[in-house]
């Protein structure tokens, strides 16, 4: 019982921890998100063998996310409009 309580306490306290990102003068925006979305497959393969991330952090927020999502959708074929033909 003690081990369960201790584990829960550690997880609870670790969940409240923050980390300092620092100041970024020019965070990645929409165009870099789009590029990162296009190369997501190659970035994923590289991340399996090296300490490489497939998502830029810190970024500009919603516009980077939108570009990333759009790039991934374009790279992997969009919404599947031609799937029935």
Question: Is residue 38 in some structural domain?
Answer: yes
Question: Is residue 1 in some structural domain?
Answer: no
Given a contact cutoff of 8 angstroms between Cβ atoms, the answer to whether 72 and 42 are in contact is no
Report pTM. Answer: 0.60
- Mean pLDDT score, 15-39: 79
Query: If 0-12 CB within 10 Å is exposed, 13-18 middle and 19+ buried, where does residue 35 land?
Result: middle
Kind and range of the H or E element at 48? helix 40-49
CB atoms within 10 A of CB 53: 11
Whole-number average pLDDT of the chain? 80
- Mean pLDDT score, 51-80: 83
- Report the number of distinct structural domains present in the chain: 1
């Amino acid at each position: 019982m003690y081990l369960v309580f201790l584990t829960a306490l550690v997880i609870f306290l670790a969940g409240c921890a923050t980390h300092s990102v620092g100041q970024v003068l020019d965070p990645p925006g929409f165009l870099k998100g789009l590029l990162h979305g296009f190369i997501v497959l190659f970035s994923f393969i590289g991340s399996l063998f090296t300490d490489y991330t497939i998502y830029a952090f810190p970024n500009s927020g919603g516009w980077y996310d939108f570009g990333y999502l759009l790039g991934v959708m374009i790279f992997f074929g969009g919404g599947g409009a031609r799937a029935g033909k």
